[in-house]
């Protein structure tokens, strides 16, 4: 199939850029020093490709749906649910299936109880500065003791410095990571266990203490991370068709709010100026040369945030030039 034959909007993945990104990350963080985060791409086919080409066999997930899908796909060597869950029934079914090694984050007695009911291994989730999940560092040790008293294996700690990963100032990112890891190290001393897990795409090369980094966006990239000057290429675009052109000086494409993750701002359309997005449309203005594409032409938008963008679509179309070489289902979307 040719790209022009795809119904739009459609997600395109440039094969060469994807391979470049996998290879660069595998060289920097080989094997178990990287735990690719499935939430960024939500596709077992892409996860398998990363495992085969990059040599990474442990994966990080954000939802039980992702965990279940990865286990069914035979990618369950070492799966971490890097979020707390109170769904003991679903977690227990996953553990008892025997299809995967299951570890879950805990940050409270309630989440420890759920892990104990499911007989899952645990990492103690520590607050290292992001105002989200995680226990205070000085409570990590007692929580680990509680987990062990319930018969659980405590593998170690995790702490996500998500408030730092998008900072465009590399020096400030590095200083922030160092401070966050001081907190996580102190907690790890109290918790014990052989594993420390942290980080993301924006800080993947700033960790010299954590055993593994939970990065996922590096594979496909977006304009938010592109501003950091990372060595990863933009692999993902949203293909759209120009459906209208106004004599008042703008054009309209058939991809809008239902095609892009918008929390990091509008998508970018190289060569043009994005005016605004509505439900099914993006209105854009001429660029520096004053031109607009004709009705019926195809354009490619760069998303500002890759993770929620992918979750809005059913397929990732891998392309080489103007050819679609593979189409991978986004089979881990939804909950």
Per-residue pLDDT reduced to its tens digit, 180-194: 999 999 999 999 999
Between CA 232 and CA 217 the distance in angstroms is 10
pLDDT at 56: 98
CATH 3.30.565.10 matches 3-10+233-329: no
**CATH number assigned to the domain with residue range 16-217, chosen from the 4 options 3.60.20.10, 3.20.20.10, 3.30.420.40, 3.40.50.2300:** 3.20.20.10
Average pLDDT, integer, range 155-171 = 97
- The angle at the Cα of 62, spanning 198 to 45, to the nearest 5 degrees, equals 105
Q: How many helices (H) and strands (E) does the chain have?
A: 9, 15
Task: Give me the torsion for CA of 148, 80, 263, 274, rounded to 10°.
Answer: 170
pLDDT at 209: 94
Domain ranges of the chain: 3-10+233-329, 16-217
Between CA 212 and CA 204 the distance in angstroms is 9
DSSP string of 18-83, one letter each residue? HHHHHHHHHHHS-GGGB--BGGGT--HHHHHHHHHHH---EEEESSHHHHHHHHHTT--SEEEE-S
pLDDT at 313: 98
- In the block, residue with structure tokens 């055993």: 211
pLDDT at 166: 95
Average pLDDT, integer, range 300-316 = 98
Residues present in the chain in total = 335
pLDDT at 53: 98
- Nearest Cα to Cα of residue 71 among 111, 112, 25, 102: 102
Between CA 104 and CA 91 the distance in angstroms is 9
Task: Give me the torsion for CA of 94, 99, 105, 110, rounded to 10°.
Answer: 30
pTM of the model: 0.97
User: What pairing do the DSSP bridges indicate for beta strands 195-198 and 315-320?
Assistant: unpaired
For the stretch 137-141, contacts whose Cβ atoms lie closer than 8 Å and that sit 24 or more positions apart, written own/partner, are 137/183, 137/184, 137/186, 137/187, 138/187, 138/190, 140/187, 140/188, 140/190, 140/191, 141/187, 141/190, 141/191
pLDDT at 294: 97
How confident is residue 272, by pLDDT bands cut at 50, 70 and 90? Answer: very high
The terminus-to-terminus CA distance of the chain in angstroms comes to 31
Between CA 180 and CA 201 the distance in angstroms is 16
Residue 254 is classified by DSSP as S
pLDDT at 324: 98
How confident is residue 93, by pLDDT bands cut at 50, 70 and 90? Answer: very high
**Percent of the chain surpassing pLDDT 90:** 100
pLDDT at 33: 98
């Amino acid at each position: 199939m040719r790209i022009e034959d795809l119904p739009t909007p459609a997600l395109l993945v440039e094969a060469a850029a994807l391979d470049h990104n996998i290879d660069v990350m595998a060289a920097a963080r080989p094997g178990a020093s990287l735990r690719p985060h499935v939430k960024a791409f939500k596709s077992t086919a892409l996860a398998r490709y990363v495992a085969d080409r990059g040599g990474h066999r442990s994966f990080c997930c954000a939802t039980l749906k992702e965990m279940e899908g990865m286990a069914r796909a035979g990618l369950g060597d070492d799966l971490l649910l890097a979020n707390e869950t109170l769904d003991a029934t679903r977690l227990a079914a996953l553990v008892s299936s025997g299809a995967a090694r299951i570890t879950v984050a805990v940050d409270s007695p309630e989440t420890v109880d759920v892990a104990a009911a499911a007989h899952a291994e645990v990492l103690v989730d520590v607050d290292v500065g992001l105002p989200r999940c995680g226990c205070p560092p000085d409570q990590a040790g007692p929580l680990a003791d509680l987990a062990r008293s319930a018969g659980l294996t405590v593998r170690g700690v995790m702490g996500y410095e998500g408030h730092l990963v998008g900072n465009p100032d590399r020096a400030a990112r590095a200083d922030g990571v160092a401070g966050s890891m001081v907190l996580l190290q102190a907690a790890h001393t109290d918790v014990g266990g052989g594993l420390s897990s942290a980080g993301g795409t924006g800080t993947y090369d700033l960790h010299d203490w954590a055993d593994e980094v939970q990065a996922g966006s590096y594979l496909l990239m977006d304009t938010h991370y592109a501003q950091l000057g990372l060595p990863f290429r933009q692999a993902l675009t949203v293909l759209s068709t120009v459906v209208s052109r106004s004599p008042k000086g703008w054009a309209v494409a058939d991809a809008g709010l239902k095609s892009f993750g918008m929390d990091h701002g509008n998508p970018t359309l190289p060569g043009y100026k994005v005016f605004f997005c509505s439900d099914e449309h993006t209105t854009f203005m001429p660029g520096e040369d004053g031109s607009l594409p004709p009705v019926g032409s195809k354009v490619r938008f760069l998303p500002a945030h890759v993770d929620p963008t992918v979750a809005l679509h059913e397929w990732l179309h891998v392309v080489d030039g103007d050819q679609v070489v593979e189409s991978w289902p986004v089979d881990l979307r939804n909950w």
